[in-house]
Structure 1
Amino acid sequence: MKLRILGCSGGIGGNLRTTSMLLDHDVLIDAGTGVGDLSLAEMCVIDHVFVTHSHLDHIASLPLLVDSVGFMRGQPLVIHATDETIAILKQHVFNWEIWPDFTEIPTLHQPLLRFERIACGETVEIGGRMITPLPANHVVPAVGFQIDSGKASLVFSGDTTTCDALWEAVNRIRNLEYLIVETAFSNAEKELAVVSKHLCPSLLADELHKLKLNPEIYVTHLKPGEIELTMQEVSECVRGFVPKMLQNGQVFEF
């Protein structure tokens, strides 16, 4: 099983792309601007999108994805999200005002888009790949994901701030090999991180004290203009682990 990072930035500009990851060839984890770098052929074979939450940097390419390849496919694109996120997407995106409601196009019985409910702790199996939503603590309802190949697991925190329930769930994953965790702001912006329910390096250090396992740790969602500063602060604050910066184009095999 391979997970390719299409985007992992907290913003855009130059080569920066917002959060999206391609699992093998047919499953997206979030649908930020990184999806736009895929070819039409690559987009056409994506059957499932697992959405952590409704913020634009994680769903920006979703409306354009279904519009671009929906009529080239023989089955609906399935969006897996919590009830709360599905309600937000229906009300604010696929509402005929911002974008057409592709759950009705071309007909109600043969739509280009379909929603599937997910919930924390309830595993979805797709072709032997097990994807389990994990708790997160953000300003909108949000989850992270455990992706389990059977041999090893990767955890993606999604957007979150301090969240004991996340680490309780993570510590139960005996085959955890990789952890991708957000750190959106530098320490100088800790107050903003707290208000917007993100992490900064000092908060990340506090959270990692709760981790009882020893996976490889990668930091994602760094803000443009603060990348080097934030990673320097991560190296200064975190003890017992050596987090690395997640890179666009990076591939995890597990």
Structure 2
Amino acid sequence: MRLRILGCSGGIGGANHTTAFLLNESVLIDAGTGLQALSLQEMLDIDHVFLTHAHFDHIACLPMLIDSVIGLRRYRPLYLHASTETLAILREHVFNWRIWPDFSLLPDESIAFLRYCPHEVGETREAAACRITALPARHTVPAVGFCLDSGNSSLVYSGDTVGCADFWDAVNAIGGLSTLIIETAFPDSEQGLAHASKHLCPATLQRELAHLERSAQILITHLKPADSDLIMQEIAAAGLPVRRLLAGETIEF
């Protein structure tokens, strides 16, 4: 399996683009501004989108993706996998005819461009020959992480979360874990903001990683652009065996 990192920043500006990962050409994990790195043909090849949650930095390019590929160039639907709560938020606040058309009804409901697929914590779906399981997460809105299982090894992506016991229980039960992608959005000087917005900072990352019972490559994502270097310096000072996830890299597992 190949996971291409299109965007992994906690914000935009310059080379910074928000979260979007491409799995084996046809599966998108989150749909932030990193999605614009793809060509039109690459976007046409996407059949499934899995969302961790409905915050704008993780869905910003989803409406434009659908708009760009519908019509004469594409006849098969796009399948959107997310929790029932996340799908409800998208229906009410995005695909509502006021912000963007409701593509689950176009051209009509029987042959709609967009298909909603509820995907709850603990449930596993197969897409592009990969088993994708929704993992528990704790954020300011309903959220999940994902375990991607290639059959040879597994990669876990935390999504946006402050961590929780259920998340670590699920991660520690995964056989063949090779990679953990986990967020750290703020420096320690903004720990109060991190706590209020339910994100990690280096100090809380250190406490959370103490729950990891398996050996794995640990990659840090979702750093706020203005503080990204400082965050990584604080993580290094804590002696944590991690590195920064980079846009443009491809992870094989």
Which of the five TM-score ranges fits, normalised by the shorter chain? over 0.9
- What does residue 93 of structure 2 align with? 92
Hey, what does 1:162 align to over in structure 2? 163
Work out the number of aligned pairs and report it: 252
Which residue is equivalent to 1:253? 252
- Post-superposition Cα deviations, 1:57-112, rounded to whole Å, max 9, x if no partner, equal 00000000000002221211010000000000000000000000001111111111
Which residue identity is paired with 1:56?
F
CA shift, 1:227, in A, is: 0.8
Q: What amino acid does structure 2 have at the position aligned with 1:146?
A: C
Quote the offset at 1:36 in angstroms.
Answer: 0.9
Compute the TM-score of the two structures, normalised by the length of structure 2.
0.98
Partner of 2:78: 77
What letter corresponds to residue 142 of structure 1 in structure 2?
A: A
Contact 2:27/2:128 (<8 A) preserved: no
Matches within 5 A, 1:10-159: 10-71=10-71, 72-159=73-160
In structure 1, give the amino acid aligned to 2:241: V
Deviating more after overlay: 120-129 vs 203-212: 120-129
Q: Give 3-state SS (helix, strand or coil) of 1:6's partner.
A: strand
Contact 1:70 1:77 (C-alpha < 8 Å) held by counterparts: no
Does the alignment pair 1:186 with 2:187?
yes
- 1:3 — aligned with what? 3
Deviation at 1:127, TM superposition (A): 4.0
Q: 1:2-29: CA deviations, max 9, x gaps?
A: 0000000000000111000000100000
The 2-side partners of 1:247 and 1:59 are apart by 20
Asked if structure 2 preserves the Cα contact closer than 8 Å seen for 1:133 and 1:146, the reply is yes
1:201-223 residue CA offsets vs partner (Å, 9 max, x unmatched): 00000000000011000000000
Q: Which residues of structure 2 form unaligned runs of 5+?
A: none
TM superposition shift of 1:37? 1.3
Q: CA deviation at 1:41?
A: 0.3
In the aligned structure 2, how far is the partner of 1:162 from the partner of 1:252?
23
Runs of at least 4 residues of structure 1 off by over 3 A? none
- What code does the residue aligned with 1:166 have? F
Q: Is the 8 A contact 1:8 1:20 kept in 2?
A: yes
Measured at CA, do residues 35 and 243 of structure 1 come closer, stay the same or move farther in structure 2, by a change above 3 Å?
Answer: same
Cα distance in 1 for partners of 2:212, 2:246 equals: 23
Runs of at least 5 residues in structure 1 that lack an aligned partner in the other structure: none
Amino acid at match of 1:203: T
**Alignment RMSD:** 0.8
Whether 1:227 and 2:228 are equivalent positions in the alignment is: yes
Secondary structure of 1:103's match? coil
> Which residue identity lines up with residue 70 of structure 1 in the other structure?
I
Give the TM-score normalised by structure 1.
0.98
User: In structure 2, what is the Cα distance between the partners aligned to 1:74 and 1:22?
Assistant: 21
Q: Give the Cα–Cα distance (whole angstroms) in 1 for the partners of residues 78 and 12 of structure 2.
A: 26
